């Protein structure tokens, strides 16, 4: 296991209970579950940032224009 850092995290009591139960059910540690969840959240953020960067050059459309387009296309 790579070097780890200790951190104090304050959890809602119900979330903490659910996390402990999941740890027991899955034979994993609470730390492992938390690390996995954080990695997944950060990976999702990285994907979102990439998608925004890819679309940065696209022309903007106003909300009003979009609603009109949806109505014209029979989608609303």
Over residues 18-42, the pLDDT tens digits come to 999 999 999 999 999 999 999 999 9
Q: Please count the CA atoms within 13 angstroms of the CA of 57 that sit on its side-chain side.
A: 1
Residue with the two structure tokens 């050059």: 57
Helices (H) and strands (E) in the chain, counts: 3, 0
pTM score: 0.66
- Phi and psi (nearest 5°) for 12? -60, 135
Nearest-10 crossing angle of helices 13-26, 30-54:
100
Over residues 52-65, the pLDDT tens digits come to 898 888 888 999 99
Residue with the two structure tokens 């953020």: 45
């Amino acid at each position: 296991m790579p070097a780890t850092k200790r951190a104090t995290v304050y959890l809602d009591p119900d979330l903490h209970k659910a996390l402990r139960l999941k740890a027991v059910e899955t034979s994993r540690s609470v730390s492992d579950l938390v690390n996995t969840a954080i990695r997944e959240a950060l990976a999702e953020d990285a994907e979102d940032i990439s998608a925004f960067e890819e679309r940065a050059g696209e022309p903007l459309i106003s909300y009003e224009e979009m609603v009109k387009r949806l109505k014209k296309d029979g989608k609303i």
